[in-house]
Amino acid sequence: MLSWSSVTRKPLPQLTEEGCLAGQLLLRYLVSQILLQTDRNDMPIVHPRILEVRAPALNFFVLRDEKGLYVIDGGFIGGWRLLQNALRREGWQDEPVRGIVVSHGHLDHILNVAHLAKAYGAWIAAPRLDADHLDIASGIQAVHLPGHTAGHMGFWWGEEKLLLTGDLFVSYRDEARLPLDIFNLDSQQNVRSIETALALNPRGVLPNHGSLAAPGEHLRRLKRLHKRVSASRTGN
């Protein structure tokens, strides 16, 4: 049942406020890479109903169910083109895009959201509370994973035991790391949110900043990160 009270077609100014500074810094970093942005033909098959849209420094996701498609975050500069190309490659280009779901307000996640909503006539949802449910893909539950931002959310697909983790961690070169402190509101809270995520006992996780890898591999990296940060906190 759709119970997200914040469904809106507006461009989420309240989200940009919380992520404004970090978003601006991230913008500088990502713009420096944007000329290298190319479409990737080696898209990973993370799940038959999940498409991963990849760019050099970030990814975003499209979920499919019997009613249509749902974009989870909207990518950054060039994201519109990458999305269209990815949908075409997957053969999903004629499926209706019904909704866009936002994990948090950083620019590399929301830059295209208003445009996508207008182009597709789709709703936008930014969950406010834990346990909000959205009636997509047999039920997705929003999970509050604060730390990166105060309102940072993950999305738990319980039926498949997959967790979309937003910017809870980054996962490159066979290693998971916390997002850089300058992008994190509270890194210690972020660590507690990693514990919240692992307590769901997922079989895989899908970060927005990660190398080409299966959800199970990202999960193994996240578990190793959790061990490292737990050991450093206890002084072992």
Binding site for Zn ion (CB under 5 A): 106, 167
- Between residues 137 and 206, which has the closer beta carbon with respect to Zn ion? 206
Q: Tell whether the torsion through CA atoms of 117, 51, 134 and 131 is positive or negative.
A: negative
- Between residues 153 and 213, which has the closer beta carbon with respect to Zn ion? 153
- Between residues 64 and 208, which has the closer beta carbon with respect to Zn ion? 208
State the nearest-atom distance from the C-beta of 68 to Zn ion, in Å: 27
- Between residues 59 and 87, which has the closer beta carbon with respect to Zn ion? 59
- Between residues 179 and 204, which has the closer beta carbon with respect to Zn ion? 179
Closest CA to 205 of 50, 4, 82, 84: 50
- Between residues 100 and 137, which has the closer beta carbon with respect to Zn ion? 100
At 4, which amino acid appears?
A: W
Q: Which residue is nearest to Zn ion (CB)?
A: 106
State the nearest-atom distance from the C-beta of 141 to Zn ion, in Å: 21
- Between residues 55 and 137, which has the closer beta carbon with respect to Zn ion? 55
Please give the full DSSP string across the chain, using - where no structure is assigned. ----TT-BSS--HHHHHHHHHHHHHHHHHHHHHHTT----S----SBTTEEEEE-SS-EEEEEEETTEEEEES--STTHHHHHHHHHHHHT-TTS-EEEEE-S---HHHHTTHHHHHHHHT-EEE---STT-EE-STT-EEEEE-TTSSTT-EEEEETTTTEEEEETS-EEETTEEEPPPGGG-S-HHHHHHHHHHHHHT--SEEEESSB-S--HHHHHHHHHHHHHHHHHHHHT-
State the nearest-atom distance from the C-beta of 113 to Zn ion, in Å: 14
Closest CA to 61 of 50, 69, 48: 50
